[in-house]
Amino acid sequence: MDQKSILERFSDILTEAKFLIQNKSVSVYRFQEEQDPNDYGFPWKSKVPESIEIQKKQQKENQRKNKDLVNFSCTLCQGKLSGVRQFLHKGRKPILVLHYSGATSPKEKPFTKTKPNQIFKDKLTENSWGEIVGKVFGFSFEELFYQEYPACTFSHTDSKDTDWQQRVENCKFHVKDTVEEYGIKSIIILGSSAKLLFGGEKAKDLLGKQISWDLSGLSVPILITRSPEALVFLGEKAKKTDSESNLFQYGKEKQELEESFISHLSTLKPYL
């Protein structure tokens, strides 16, 4: 077939196609198991950008859904190694406990949570804290909110005091977010978190005291107290001693520490 014949044939096909299209008589070849093209739906979506308000609302919703992982994507601090796993434990009582399971000095060993819903480093600490909370409030310690402060891990061998001060200052952002979202009425700051925030000497002076804490314009009452790990430490020392006098001394110190915990936490009852 020469070129002229091909063009004539093509012209005839176009003429026939025009007639079939005008009369809606175009048949589509398909296999028996295939769906009829007329049964397909083609949803339409506008390409007009969403309003800023809608975008912010969606972003807020995504942040709420990914609350447990927000510290992993946080970029507020330099030198960050990783976010602390399970950094937020959601309770039902409006009191937030700030603590830190990471290492802050060369003497400490790095720690990583490995169990679901783990709050403290070990079961002994949880049991000791649980007994105190139970005596004071009459409910499980898991009823309170807990948050790692700071919420990430850093080098415990290379970090300076000024580095930690900047990190806890930056991390107020996440604390404020938790306070606002869950209606927190008071905050307990334990051990190492208090030391990082105020420094060792000032944290010691503030033990058992309630003060107001400014979170970027939001004032929240806070209570500084020791970490329940101190109770575990005294208990372990008592087990290892062979001296009755030392055993008595450790027992006395532990009892005094328990009484101080009870006294401190009792001041928070009005917030429940």
Domains in the chain (CATH in brackets) are 59-271 (3.40.470)
Among the listed residues 224, 247, 244, the one whose alpha carbon sits nearest the alpha carbon of residue 236:
247
pLDDT in tens, the chain (272 residues): 678 888 878 887 777 777 667 766 666 666 666 666 666 666 766 666 666 667 666 666 665 556 677 888 888 998 999 999 889 999 999 999 999 999 999 888 888 888 888 999 989 999 999 999 999 999 999 999 999 999 999 999 999 999 999 999 999 999 999 999 999 999 999 999 999 999 999 999 999 999 999 998 999 999 999 999 998 888 777 676 766 767 667 778 888 889 999 999 999 999 99
> DSSP class of residue 252?
H
First-to-last C-alpha distance (Å) of the chain: 94
The confidence score (pLDDT) of residue 63 equals 58
SS3 per residue for 28-82 = CCCCCCCCCHHHCCCCCCCCCCCCHHHHHHHHHHHHHHCHHHHHHHCCCCCCEEE
What are the E-state strand segments in the chain? 80-83, 88-89, 95-99, 145-148, 152-154, 186-190, 210-215, 218-225
Residue corresponding to tokens 């790990």: 229
Contact status, residue 90 vs residue 145, Cβ threshold 8 Å: yes
Nearest CA-CA partner of 159 in 100, 112, 114, 217: 100
What angle, rounded to 10 degrees, do the helices at 229-240 and 123-137 form? 120
How many helices (H) does the chain have, and how many strands (E)? 10, 8
Q: What is the DSSP letter of 171?
A: T
* Of the candidates 63, 269, 98, the residue with the CA atom closest to the CA atom of residue 195: 98
Contact 113, 36 (CB under 8 A): no
Predicted TM-score of the model (pTM): 0.74
pLDDT of residue 5: 80
Report the alpha-carbon angle 38-42-48, nearest 5.
155
